[in-house]
Structure 1
Amino acid sequence: MTVHDIRALLACDRPTVGTWLQLPSTDVAELMARAGYDWVAVDMEHGSFGRAGLPDIFRAIECGGAAPFARLPEAAKSWIKSALEAGAQGLIFPMIESRAQLDQAIDWAIYPGQDHWRAAGETAAEYRGVGYCRANVFGKNFETYRQERAPELFLVAQIEHIRAVDNLDAILAHPRLDAIMVGPYDLSGSMGLTAQFEHPDFRAVMDRIQAACKRRNARMGLHIVQPDPAELARQVAAGSRFIAYGIDSVFLWQGAERPDREKAL
C-alpha cells in the first residue's frame, strides 16, 4: 500500500484503516504492517522511539506492505524534518488548535515550489530543508523523491482540544490537508470529561466535528483505541474515512493475558 493507493481509496469515498505502533521493534512493525493495514503510524509522542531507530522501523513497515506514517511528538520543525528524512510517507500533527499552527507545520513539511495552493508570488516564510537523507536514498534518488514522492506526503491534523473544534472550519479549509483525526482522550480531557465518551457534551462536540467535515467535504478520522470490529463498522457507516485501529501494545495485552488469571490469584 502506498500513499497513492490510500488517496485512491479516499477518492472513491472508501475508508483507509491503519494501526498504531508504540513498541520500538522492527519485528513488531513488520508484523503489524503484514496484518493487512493500509498504513502503520509510529507513535513518536507516547511510544519509545528515538531518531536513530526510525529508518529501520519505517523499512520494516514498508517491507510488510503498508505505508509508514509518523505521529509526531509535536508539530515542530525538528520533529517534522526527522520523520520525513527517515522515510515517513505521512505525518500526523498532534494538538493542532488553529489554522496558523497548521499553516506553519505544513510549510515545514513542503519543499520550496511545492505549495501550489498559494497565490502567484506568495511564498512561505520557511519551507522543508533540502538535503540528502534516507528518504531519497542519501541522494541517489534525490530528484525522483523531490518531484514524485515528496509532493504526495499524506498530512493529517489531530483535533485534540476543544479550542481546535472552535477553529475547525479554518483548519479544514487548508488545501493541503488530507484528513483530520480526533484524539478522543485528549479532546474529552480538555472538556473536563476524560474518557467519558458517552457523555452528552462530548457526543455533541463529536457531532459538531462531523458536521464541519461534511460542510467542508473533509475526511473525518479518529483512533479506535480498543479494537472492536463492531465499532469500526459503526464509525465507517457514520462517515469516518481515516481510521487508526488499535495499538500494538493493546493487541498484545488482549492476546497475551492469561485466561484463568483470576483463579490463579
Structure 2
Amino acid sequence: MPAPINTLKQRFKSGDTTFGCWLSFAEAGPAEVMGTAGFDWLVIDSEHAANDVRSIRNQLMALQSSPSSIIVRVPVGEPWIIKQALDVGAQTILVPMVESGEQARQMVRACTYPPNGIRGVGATATRSSRFSGIPDYTETANDQISLIVQVENRAGLAALDDILAVDGVDCVFIGPADLAADLGYPGQLTHPEVHETILGVLGRIRDAGKVPGILSLSEEVTESYLAAGARFVAVAIDVITLIRAARATAQRWISATPT
C-alpha cells in the first residue's frame, strides 16, 4: 500500500487556482470547525501561532475527515522540525523566509528520504505511516510530499531566479507583510511600490512554471493578484474572521440599544 495521494499537489500540477485559510488558534476544536467551511486548503501555522508538534498533530487528527487539504507552516526552515511535521502526518510543508536557492534545495532534501534527501527514516511508529499500516510508506512518500517556500524580503527577491530553478519546490508564496516591511513600508501592503513589486514577482513565478502564492484579506487586492497569476491564495485567517464577525455583531446591537 503506497502513501496517500496528496490532492493539493495534484491540483498544483493541474494548474488549478485554489483558495484557503490560515489556522491561528493552535487548537483542534476551531481547526475542526474550519475544516467544514469548504476551503480548498487550510494552513496550520506554527510560525506566528502558538503551535508545537503535539498541537500540529492534534489538528491534523481533527481535520482527517475534512475535504480541505492541510498544510503545515513550520516556524523556521530547519530539517528537524520539518521531519517532525512530516512524521505526524503532514504532506505539504510551507517554509517561511527562504532567501537563497541553496536554502530551498536544503528544504527539498529535508522533505525527502535518502538517498536523495536527509529525512530521517523512522516511519514505522509514526502517524504518517498509519503506525505501519501503510507498509510501502517509506518507498512512496517522496512522491506525495509538496513543498511551498516563502519569499518575503529583499534577499529572497534577489535570489528569486535561483529559488525558482530548484526542483522539488512546487509553489513560491509571497509574504506581503514581511515584504512590505523589508521594502521600508511596514503595514503598507498596498503601497504602490510594494504592490507593483508583488505583481511582478507573481508573474515571474508563473512564468517559471511554479505555482504563485499570496495572502490577501482584501477582495479588490486579491483580484489584482489573481490577474497577475496567483493560483494559491489565502483569503482568510480564522482569528480575523472570528473577531470581525464578533465586533460587527457587538457594534450592531450595542450601538442600536438605548442605555
Matches within 5 A, 1:244-259: 244-257=234-247, 258-259=250-251
Deviation, structure 1 residue 229: 4.4
- Residue in 1 aligned with 2:132? 139
Pick the aligned partner of 2:23 from 1, 21, 24: 21
- Taking the TM superposition and a 5 Å limit, the aligned residue runs for 1:1-265 are 4-113=6-115, 115=116, 127-131=118-122, 132=124, 133-143=126-136, 145-224=137-216, 226=217, 228-257=218-247, 258-260=250-252, 261=254
Structure 1 residue identity aligned to 2:157: V
Taking a change above 3 Å as real, the CA distance of residues 34 and 3 of structure 1, as seen in their structure-2 partners, is farther
Distance (whole Å) between structure 2 residues aligned to residue 26 and residue 229 of structure 1: 28
Letter in 2 for 1:183: G
Question: What is the CA–CA distance in structure 2 between the aligned matches of 1:229 and 1:218, rounded to whole Å?
Answer: 24
Kindly indicate whether the alpha-carbon contact (under 8 Å) linking 2:199 and 2:228 is maintained by their aligned counterparts in 1: no
Following the alignment from structure 2 to structure 1, what is the Cα–Cα distance between the partners of residues 195 and 220? 18
Distance 1:53 1:174, change over 3 A: same
Q: Deviations over 1:200-226 (max 9, x none)?
A: 3212321331232243122111012x3
Cα root mean square deviation, aligned = 2.1
Confirm or deny: 8 A CA contact 1:29 1:60 kept in the other structure: yes
Give runs of ≥4 in structure 1 deviating > 6 Å: none
Task: State the Cα distance separating 1:43 from its structure 2 match.
Answer: 0.5
Does the C-alpha gap of structure 1 residues 3 and 75 become closer, same or farther in structure 2, counting only changes over 3 Å?
A: farther
C-alpha deviation, 1:263, in angstroms: 6.8
**What displacement does 1:84 show?**
0.7
Look up the equivalent residue of 1:259 and give its one-letter code.
Answer: Q
Q: Does the CA contact (< 8 Å) of 1:38 and 1:66 recur in 2?
A: yes
For residues 76 and 160 of structure 2, the distance between their equivalents in structure 1, rounded to whole angstroms, comes to 19
Q: Deviations over 1:146-168 (max 9, x none)?
A: 23344211110101111101110
Q: Give the SS at the match of 1:244.
A: strand
69-78 vs 46-55, which moves further:
46-55
Unpaired stretches in structure 2, ≥5 consecutive residues: none
Q: Give the letter aligned to residue 256 of structure 1.
A: A
Q: Distance in 1 between matches of 2:12 and 2:6?
A: 10
Specify the code of the residue in structure 2 equivalent to 1:211.
G
Counterpart for residue 119 of structure 1: none
Sequence identity (%): 27
Answer whether contact 2:17 2:231 (CA < 8 A) is retained.
yes
Distance 2:57 2:228 in 1: 36
Unaligned 5+ residue runs, structure 1?
Answer: 116-123
Is 2:6–2:145's contact at 8 Å kept on the other side of the alignment?
no
Q: If the length of structure 1 is used for normalisation, what is the TM-score?
A: 0.86
The TM-score normalised by the length of structure 2 is 0.88
Contact 2:202 2:213 in 1 (8 A): no
**For 1:243, what is the secondary structure of its paired residue?**
strand
Q: Contact 2:6–2:91 (CA<8 Å) still a contact in 1? A: no
Figure out how many residues of one structure are paired with residues of the other and give that number: 250
- Secondary structure at 2:211 match in 1: coil
SS of the equivalent of 2:131 reads: helix
Question: What letter is aligned with 1:235?
Answer: Y
1:234 Cα shift?
Answer: 3.9
